[in-house]
Amino acid sequence: MNFEFATATRIVFGAGRLREVGALSKEFGSRVLVVTGRDTKRAEPLLKILHAGGVSTTTFSVAGEPELSTVEQGTESAKTRRCELVIGFGGGSVLDAAKAIAAMLANGGELLDYVEIIGRGRMLTKPSVPFVAIPTTAGTGSEVTRNAVLASSEHKLKVSLRSPLMLARVAVVDPELTYDLPPALTASTGLDALTQLIEPFVCARANPMTDGLCVEGLQRAARSLRIAFADGQNKSAREDMALAGLFGGLALANAGLGAVHGFAGPIGGSFAAPHGAICAALLPHVMGANLRALRRRAPDSAVLPRFDQVARWLTGDASATADAGVQWIQQLVSDLQIPKLSAYDIREEHVADLVARAMNASSMKANPVALTPEELAGALRQAL
């Protein structure tokens, strides 16, 4: 056995704990860049709390998924206002943008010096300026991961800025912030959380520490995602989903993912589909492809009983087998009204290219079995 576990220095969890952000930010400085989503009004309660705590704020709004230029603009804005810390307040895109800005404020040079694939891929050498991550959705787990996904529209590609030095100083996970999420967003982010609990549990780099988080998170998501979708104000369901999102982030950052996320990068880079909806549409079909490949090529694999365990936690039936788990997810995806990928104009003519690009994705390396291009294409076609 061989593993490492790294995460945010401090995780603050609980309904209403946003109120503590003024005092905890003050420990890091008195001028903060607050990175928010498109609707900056949502951040007003946070700004009030910060101002009451004696912290001055500059707001930077990120509409949609962050581009490299978004991070460059945010970094400039923070430099001009001499910000000492960065707070990300929003969904995964906002947290990733804030995380990248905090890294660029501490490390000199240009963003392209450090970005993989399209940049020079140099290592970040200095810890980010203090970064406080406050998710307002329950799913991505970005508050505890060490990478920021950035889009390059020029290259039709998503690339990561990645370093353990980018981990948040504090992650504040307050389920109250998710009570007003509309059902469609609850569904897509919640299914991303579920995917990020299943893929690390069956992946090639699973370890006992991430296993424990996956078991706990999976059971909470299984019992609460439908409830949170139907009744957003249900406090215990929202609390479960906030934990599921957090635990998925902890698991993926310290174990790995698999073919669903291998596809999610190239698809998200080329088509205007939300990350969670892509993962949800693919999840049952990739699980099916993995099961068939394992049964055929590695029938004694220790991963196969893990798929049975996942099925038992999802269905609550102690005798359920892996296939029942796949069916349960298929039903959930349909009940939560997740569209097929064809709804985003992804068609047969795109399959070969997406498969080729997915095979090179870093998430693919942790998939429990090496899937052939034909097997990957089959799973993708089923999701169209």
Binding site for Zn ion (CB under 5 A): 192
Give the CA angle between residues 286, 377, 343 to the nearest 5°. 80
Answer whether 275's CB lies under 8 Å from 344's CB: no
Judged by beta carbon, residue 192 or residue 240, the one nearer Zn ion is: 192
CB closest to Zn ion, residue no: 192
The CA distances from residue 119 to 3, 59, 66, 95, 165, in Å, are: 29, 28, 16, 21, 19
Give 260-284 as a DSSP string. HHHHHHHHHHHS---HHHHHHHHHH
CB of 257 to Zn ion, least distance (A): 7
What's 301's DSSP letter?
A: -
CB of 129 to Zn ion, least distance (A): 26
CB of 252 to Zn ion, least distance (A): 7
Taking the alpha carbons at both ends of the chain, their separation in whole angstroms is 39
CB of 259 to Zn ion, least distance (A): 12
The half-sphere exposure of 82 on its side-chain side, counting CA atoms within 13 A, is 2
CB of 61 to Zn ion, least distance (A): 23
> Residue 117 region, left (φ>0) first, then alpha (ψ -120 to 50), else beta?
left
CB of 349 to Zn ion, least distance (A): 26
Cβ neighbors of 248 (< 8 A, separation 6 or more) are 139, 141, 192, 193, 194, 195, 196, 197, 200, 214, 217
The residue ranges of DSSP E strands in the chain, in sequence order, are 10-13, 31-36, 56-61, 85-90, 131-135, 147-152, 157-162, 170-173
Judged by beta carbon, residue 53 or residue 339, the one nearer Zn ion is: 339
Judged by beta carbon, residue 25 or residue 147, the one nearer Zn ion is: 147
Judged by beta carbon, residue 85 or residue 264, the one nearer Zn ion is: 264
CB of 251 to Zn ion, least distance (A): 11
Give the CA angle between residues 247, 250, 256 to the nearest 5°. 115
CB of 66 to Zn ion, least distance (A): 16
Backbone angles phi, psi at 238, to 5 degrees: -65, -35
Judged by beta carbon, residue 46 or residue 366, the one nearer Zn ion is: 366
Judged by beta carbon, residue 46 or residue 260, the one nearer Zn ion is: 260
Q: What does the buried/exposed string (b/e) look like for 35-68 if buried means 16 or more CB atoms within 10 Å of the residue's CB?
A: bbbeeeeebeebbebbeebebebbbbbbeebbbb
CB of 373 to Zn ion, least distance (A): 23
Closest CA to 373 of 357, 361, 355, 360: 355
